[in-house]
Structure 1
Amino acid sequence: MSATLPTTRKNGLQCPWHPYQILSYIVYLLFIVGGVILLGMPLPLPYDVAFFVVFAVVVAAVGVCAMVTTVVNPADDFKNTHLEKGHYCYVCRRRVSTSTEHCRPCNKCVSGFDHHCKWLNTCIGDKNYKFFVSTLISLTVLAVMLFAMIVVMVVISYTEPSLMEELLSSISFLHLSLVPYRIALFVFLAFDIAVLYYVLDLLIFHIRLTIEGNTTYTHFKKLDAKEKQKREEAKSRQSSHDSIQIRLSQGKETSLSKMLEGSGNAIPAITPSPVSEPPTPKSEGTKSTPSAALKSPHSGSFSPLGDRDDSFTLRRGRNGERG
């Protein structure tokens, strides 16, 4: 029975949807609802009109850019199949350009592959990368705008509480008092700061990649290569250290065995006691006096051998007398 090949996904709207994609839609809706109810509706005329116009434009920009990024199919068109240079995809069984990589979640080759975005449930490549960055920019503008408006409304609620209560009372279907409204503002502020931190960090990262001429894929590929090189260098240093330790231990064992062998074969030195020679009878006509016997080439000079040189000289003299 032949194995079923995985389905190639054309865009991010094709099922199955990723949980992050559903979460991104919820965040988008919460931004719209929070901005309209907590920030726009309490404003008096003509401030509410100005807010809703700007807010609608930014929200529409976020939605359009995100939708285009999701709908566009970033797959490679396989126009370079006649070229000998480039990559060969063993999954698609076609020759692709050098910037093309195969995306496993979407099961397709993506031209200028950057990364697979779980928030939009699609691959990011040459065909939709600009729309992806535009989504980040517009979402950052929206989060900053909401942050500024929330701060303004919090300040008004504390500096002009009577005015804020009057504005809230004009919204008949809310029935919000001042304290619950403040709590809702602080919750919305924390939510907005969390989204702004994540999106702004991602936007700065992609701006840096653009300046460096890298993609997300090549960036992390280089990081993996550096980490692998560091691990190999650490492993090499550790192996060199271990080999040195082994050699030192072997050298110590060899020296110790030699010392043990040498001490086992050694014969203790015995200092021979001086042997006294029997007195030799003096020849007639030869008078040997102590002063004459002590006269030697070494007499009058200091000898480090001390008494041994003197006894050696005396023995030579006596032997000469024997001859």
Structure 2
Amino acid sequence: MNCTKWRFRRPAPETVISKDELAFRRPRVNGWSCPPGASQLVGWLVYGFLATISFGIHIPLLPRPWYHVAYATLGTVFIVHFFTHVAAVTVDPADASVRAKVNYSSPLPLFDRSKQPHVIKDQHCFLCDVQVSGPRVKHCSSCNKCVEDFDHHCKWLNTCVGGRNYWLFFSALVSALVGVLLLFTLILFVFVQHIRDPHILRTAPQLGALPGNSTWLLFLPLAPIETSSAGLLTITFIALMLSTICLMLLCHLLCFHLFLFYKGISTFEYVKLKKQEKSRKQELECRNSKRPSKTPQNQENSIDCEPTKYPSSSNLVSKNPLTFRLSETLCSEMESFKKSVDNDKFRYGTENKTRGISMSVIQNWKASNEEDYPSGSGNSLPETQDPLGSSIMSPNRSSQ
């Protein structure tokens, strides 16, 4: 990972860029403003296709008791979705100060993220040149205007979703989900019954006059068109797959907005929190990668007083008991020194103070020397380096 990226951590510049350095474009008033979006066109084509095959092909094939129920239920849901969808696209979600401008439709500077990190400072947008109404107003780069209570820019509506049209958007989402769910049930019923018992679907008077089950009529009763059984199954299967995809997407979108309701945040705030969390993880990884590790020299210079460092301690005691006692005394003295350093918050190497070994320890060395090595024996102990480097001591010199 490249730890030198400052895309999420760089501070915002204090100065803003002049309007002469930016490109200009007319703001989008609503979702009907040109040019239309590709997702918007796809959404309307899917809506028209599902409405056509449901009301023109599959509902007329239902048995008579369910014929009028399906028309009434699906017709109501499709009409509600149509009007809420159109209203959500038509309503202008711009901030009140933007809509109050006389030259609202005139070209405005285009928001370029590569040139400025933000365009609203102290609740003033220097692109729209207005004082916005609240802290949740955001300047949309796609619509090129400040949106009140900005949630997200919807590509299916080809407009922003804000405080003025959010509930219209949510109603269109719920009605679309209910309509697709009913349509999926209807198409699945027709598909299964056509395979199991096609006579249940041939209750229309026009179909009763046709011989056999290989010929079917579409768009009953206004404009009947003959087709084969394979053609009907192909259209039904395509509609079933398309409704399944729409059902999955709408369910995911509805669950996501219910989650936002539960958290009390908008879509833009959710995305912003995710970016901040990702930035914190990157900074933490960079700090961990730059943390210095302990070098082998430091490990060699350190004194380890654990018993594992002395595997042949029994041999050492048998050969030279005084040396073994001296090593143990040094280790215990080092441990007590470390504890005192931690308690006194003393930093080693910052002051010119030496810590000598206590006289009781030296006397113990002298006594043990006299017991193990009587005078005149000619045995002398090697000089021992003080672990703090303050002096060089030996039991013979201490006795003098």
Out of 61, 77, 84, the position equivalent to 1:65 is 84
Letter in 2 for 1:93: D
Q: Distance in 2 between matches of 1:118 and 1:152?
A: 33
Q: Distance in 2 between matches of 1:189 and 1:31?
A: 10
Shift of 1:250: 6.5
Structure 2 counterpart SS, 1:175 = strand
Q: Does 1:26 align with 2:45?
A: yes
Aligned residue in 2 for 1:143: 180
Out of 171, 182, 194, the position equivalent to 1:157 is 194
Summarize the Cα distance change of 1:126–1:309 in structure 2 as closer, same or farther, 3 Å threshold. same
Out of 204, 207, 210, the position equivalent to 1:169 is 207
Aligned residue in 1 for 2:57: 38
% identity of equivalent residues: 27
Summarize the Cα distance change of 1:113–1:303 in structure 2 as closer, same or farther, 3 Å threshold. closer
Aligned residue in 2 for 1:116: 153
- Conserved 8 A contact 2:125-2:131: yes
Q: Does 1:89 align with 2:125?
A: yes
Shift of 1:195: 0.3
Out of 122, 139, 145, the position equivalent to 1:102 is 139
Alignment of 1:121-140 (within 5 A): 121-140=158-177
- Conserved 8 A contact 1:164-1:178: no
In the superposition, the TM-score normalised over structure 1's length comes to 0.71
| Structure with the higher fraction of residues in helix conformation | 1
- Gap runs ≥5 in structure 1: 256-300, 312-323
Alignment of 1:130-279 (within 5 A): 130-164=167-201, 169=207, 171=217, 173-240=224-291, 243-244=292-293, 248=295, 251=298
Shift of 1:177: 3.0
- Conserved 8 A contact 2:62-2:201: no
Shift of 1:115: 0.3
- Conserved 8 A contact 1:114-1:216: yes
- Conserved 8 A contact 1:87-1:98: yes
Runs of 4+ in 1 over 4 A off after TM superposition: 165-168, 249-255, 301-305
- Conserved 8 A contact 1:169-1:175: no
Q: Distance in 2 between matches of 1:303 and 1:86?
A: 86
- Conserved 8 A contact 1:169-1:176: no
Q: Distance in 1 between matches of 2:91 and 2:236?
A: 37
Deviations 1:175-208 (CA, angstroms, capped at 9, x unpaired): 2333332232222111101001001110111111
- Conserved 8 A contact 2:97-2:130: yes
- Gap runs ≥5 in structure 2: 1-19, 101-120, 209-216, 219-223, 303-369, 380-400
Summarize the Cα distance change of 1:304–1:44 in structure 2 as closer, same or farther, 3 Å threshold. same
Letter in 1 for 2:377: D
- Conserved 8 A contact 2:61-2:202: no
Letter in 2 for 1:224: K
RMSD across aligned C-alpha pairs, in angstroms? Answer: 2.9
Shift of 1:163: 3.7
Structure 2 counterpart SS, 1:41 = helix
Q: Distance in 2 between matches of 1:21 and 1:253?
A: 70
Number of residue-to-residue matches in the alignment: 256
- Conserved 8 A contact 1:115-1:217: yes
Larger radius of gyration: 1
Summarize the Cα distance change of 1:13–1:250 in structure 2 as closer, same or farther, 3 Å threshold. farther
Letter in 1 for 2:139: H
